[in-house]
């Protein structure tokens, strides 16, 4: 094998660096960044890769950052993105300015009227957010949620459709226990005025990583749909939150069922715990050896 | 190198091939270290003579050719290539036959290969490999898996032959499984672990018997470990993120 030393261009190195950063499990990007810097040994390339990769990573993982000034937390999501590093927190009507690479919120400013939905839409958004906060507070020990208007935020009154999205983001980092995990729910709610129906589309994504002397990762996804009547803001909010709660609880139960099925069913298709004979393999038995050799020869031909 | 191994521990196991080639291109001078410390899912070739498949690895490779354990020939053909001695080749043949039966018992199919070669210390090294495709389109009997692979690599260094011989086993298991259905969506677990085991065993019992038992014990331990510890921890994490609803009603409402 001829070893050709084709030196990679900076651009190629940057793309590779981005790939590593983007594939970091939830909450581990800073650790990956540290190892990557060491392997790359080129701060300029790293900085460029980081400036491109971190925003994408932060949005897809919907990271939660603390806002200075006792405004609480803000979620970094594509739904709330106003500009490259400005993210709306609909709860407090504040806009957070974010340093993606450092993963901190550097300052906060009030949102302008153009950045917020109309009072009509806001009534629905706010009522749903209140119900969602109640639900998330009960169901997720360390979860955050926000409700955004992603379509029709300038709708003044009945007669027009608009669309909301409720997102839930929960992450658990336990680096000393070599374990991390994340849960993301994205629920899009289309408010169809003409048929007076609210259509829900949910995308749930769960991930976990355990890496003590090994590397094992869970990656689970689910999509679901439902619908309910378009009612007053408060009644709609209660109905939507209740559907979301129902679907998410069901999903958790099916995840549990998948895990319970593993040892005896799913895993068995990869490797049995014991042969059908329920005894260990007879390495010792010489008479069985010649027998097994006959069998193996047959199998050999059969393969 | 430590940083490189750190990266390999964090990247999704499914993408380990991409991760390794990325590292090899960034660190060309560390390529031999990287290739020996990082395991990749096993590749397979068909032996021209018997039509049987055999597994490819560093231990049966010379240049770009691979030696089949069934015919003892290199594919593609190669001049001046290394072969085990005829005595060791006999042991290798027997090992392949027996290991095939072992795999059939535990893996209900799968592809296996064993390679042996003399080492510099008057002993020899044996490499036992298994590859199983458990997906429903592959050899998965129960049809649960959309996708499922198990790759095992066991390398045993056998010390010089004395009454009690030393066997050093290094095992790596890489697996990935995915189930997919309408009610529960896609559920995917993947991972890799590596362990070592050293034993001093009486040579009178036979090399194959000694090595076989070690491998069986190790595979059992790794399977259990993956199932209970590793998969178990990811399950625990999910329940920590969102505890099952039976737990919730027990909470007192906030005043």
B206-247 per-position pLDDT tens digit: 899 999 999 999 999 999 898 888 888 999 999 999 998 765
The residue extents of the domains of chain B are 1-38, 85-241
Contact assignment for B189 to A216 by CB distance below 8 Å: yes
Nearest CA in chain B to A288: B98
Worst-scoring range by mean pLDDT, A73-87, A105-119, B29-43? B29-43
* Assigned CATH class of B85-241: alpha beta
- More confidently predicted of A128 and B14: A128
The Cα A284–Cα A165 span in angstroms is: 65
If you average pLDDT over residues B52-77, what whole number do you get? 91
Q: Is the per-residue pLDDT at B250 higher than 60?
A: no
Contact yes or no for B234 and A210 at CB 8 A:
yes
Superfamily, domain A117-269: F-actin capping protein, beta subunit (3.90.1150.210)
Give residue A301's pLDDT: 39
pLDDT at A299: 52
The average pLDDT across A132-149 equals 94
ipTM, two decimals: 0.85
Reported as a pLDDT band with limits 50, 70 and 90, residue A219 is very high
Q: In terms of pTM, does the model score above 0.95?
A: no
Binning pLDDT at 50, 70 and 90, where does residue A1 land? very low
Longest dimension (CA), chain B: 83
Cβ–Cβ below 8 Å for B184 and A267: no
Mean pLDDT of chain B: 89
* Alpha carbon distance A63, A75 (integer Å): 6
Is the Cβ pair A39, B64 closer than 8 Å? Answer: no
Residue of B nearest to A183 (CA): B241
Determine the pLDDT at residue A289: 47
pLDDT for residue B91 is more than 50 = yes
**How high is the pLDDT of residue B144?**
79
More confident residue, A175 or B86: B86
A34, pLDDT greater than 80: yes
Interface with chain B: mutation pick from A182, A201, A217, A298, highest number of B CBs within 10 Å: A217
Q: Give the alpha-carbon dihedral of B223, B227, B233, B237, to 10 degrees.
A: 150
Instruction: Look at residue B67 and tell me whether its pLDDT is greater than 80.
Output: yes
Contact A141 B243 (CB under 8 A): yes
Q: Cβ of A251 and B15 within 8 Å?
A: no
pLDDT band at A288 (very low <50, low <70, confident <90, very high): very low
Average pLDDT of A109-114?
Answer: 92
Which residue among A35, A256, A274 sits closest to B7, beta carbon to beta carbon? A35
Whether B10 sits inside 8 A of A215 (CB atoms) is yes
A179 touches chain B (CB under 8 A): yes
Nearest CA in chain A to B3: A35
Q: Where are the domains of chain A?
A: 117-269
pLDDT (mean) for B47-63:
89
Q: Which of A32, A258, A292 sits opposite B7 (nearest CB)?
A: A32
State how far the Cα of A32 lies from the Cα of B23, in Å rounded to an integer: 13
């Amino acid at each position: 094998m001829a070893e050709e030393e084709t030196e990679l261009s900076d651009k190629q190195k940057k793309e590779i660096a981005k790939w590593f950063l983007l594939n970091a499990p939830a909450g581990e990007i800073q650790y990956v960044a540290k190892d990557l810097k060491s392997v790359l040994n080129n701060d300029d390339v790293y900085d460029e890769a980081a400036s491109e990769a971190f925003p994408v990573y932060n949005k897809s993982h919907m990271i939660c950052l603390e806002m200075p000034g006792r405004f609480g937390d803000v979620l970094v999501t594509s739904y709330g993105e106003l500009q490259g590093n400005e993210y709306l927190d609909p709860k407090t009507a504040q806009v957070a300015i974010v340093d993606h690479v450092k993963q901190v919120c550097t300052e906060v400013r009030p949102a302008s009227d153009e950045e917020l939905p109309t009072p009509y839409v806001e009534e629905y958004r706010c009522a749903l957010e209140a119900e969602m906060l109640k639900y998330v507070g009960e169901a997720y020990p360390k979860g955050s949620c926000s409700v955004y208007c992603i379509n029709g935020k300038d709708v003044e009154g009945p007669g027009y459709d608009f669309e909301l999205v409720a997102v839930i983001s929960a992450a658990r980092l336990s680096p000393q226990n070599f374990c991390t995990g994340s849960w993301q729910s994205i629920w899009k709610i289309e408010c169809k005025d003409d048929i007076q129906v609210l259509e829900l589309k949910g995308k749930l994504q769960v991930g976990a990583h355990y890496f003590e002397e090994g590397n094992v990762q869970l990656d689970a996804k689910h999509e679901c749909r439902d619908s309910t009547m378009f009612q007053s803001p408060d009644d709609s909010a209660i109905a939507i939150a209740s559907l979301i709660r129902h679907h998410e609880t069901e999903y958790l139960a099916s995840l549990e069922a998948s895990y319970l099925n593993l040892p005896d069913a799913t895993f068995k298709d990869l490797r049995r715990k014991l042969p059908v004979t329920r005894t260990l393999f007879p390495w010792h038995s010489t008479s069985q050896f010649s027998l097994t050799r006959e069998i193996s020869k047959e199998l050999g031909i059969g393969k | 190198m430590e940083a490189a191994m750190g990266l390999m521990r964090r990247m999704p196991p499914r993408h380990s091939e991409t991760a390794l080639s990325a590292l090899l291109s960034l660190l060309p001078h560390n390529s031999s270290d990287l290739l020996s410390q990082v395991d990749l899912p096993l590749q397979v070739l068909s032996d021209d003579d018997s039509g049987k498949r055999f597994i490819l690895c560093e231990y049966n490779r010379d240049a770009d050719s691979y030696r089949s354990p069934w015919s003892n020939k290199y594919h593609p053909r190669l001049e001046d290539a290394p072969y085990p001695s005829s005595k060791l080749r006999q042991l290798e043949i027997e090992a392949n036959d027996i290991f095939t039966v072992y795999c059939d018992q535990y893996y209900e199919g799968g592809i296996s290969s064993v390679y042996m070669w003399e080492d510099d210390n008057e002993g020899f090294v044996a490499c036992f490999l298994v590859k199983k495709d458990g997906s429903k389109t592959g050899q998965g009997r129960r049809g649960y898996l959309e996708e499922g692979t198990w790759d095992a690599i066991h390398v045993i260094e056998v010390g010089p032959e004395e009454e009690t011989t030393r066997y050093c086993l290094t095992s790596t298991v890489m697996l990935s499984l995915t189930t997919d259905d309408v009610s529960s969506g896609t559920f995917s677990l993947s991972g890799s672990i590596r362990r070592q085991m050293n034993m001093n065993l009486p040579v009178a019992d036979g090399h194959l018997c000694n090595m076989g038992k070690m491998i069986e014990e190790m595979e059992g331990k790794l399977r259990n470990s993956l199932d209970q510890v590793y998969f178990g921890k990811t399950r625990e994490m999910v329940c920590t993120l969102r505890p099952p609803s039976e737990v919730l009603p027990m909470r007192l409402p906030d005043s």
